[in-house]
Amino acid sequence: METATLKIEGMTCNGCVSAVKKALERTDGVSSADVALDTGNARVTYDAARTSPARLRAAVEDAGYDVAA
């Protein structure tokens, strides 16, 4: 298992946190996603054989949020 930390931009409330968390957890290969509003970070544990940081980023962006480079 691998771990990635993504800096999420555009989250303003707990509803945003929930939307990002759900988007990440629905991504094939993700075992867990912890999203924090105060830091704007998402810490994701995933199977590198089934997904990648690029796919994690795409899941967040599809949910309507930005990932800082």
List the one residue out of 64, 41, 63, 67 whose CA is nearest residue 53.
67
CATH 3.30.70.100 corresponds to the domain 2-68: yes
pTM exceeds 0.75:
yes
Cα–Cα separations (whole angstroms), residue 27 to 4, 13, 32, 43: 14, 22, 10, 14
Amino acid at 46: Y
pLDDT tens, residue by residue, 12-63: 999 999 999 999 999 999 999 999 999 999 999 999 999 999 999 999 999 9
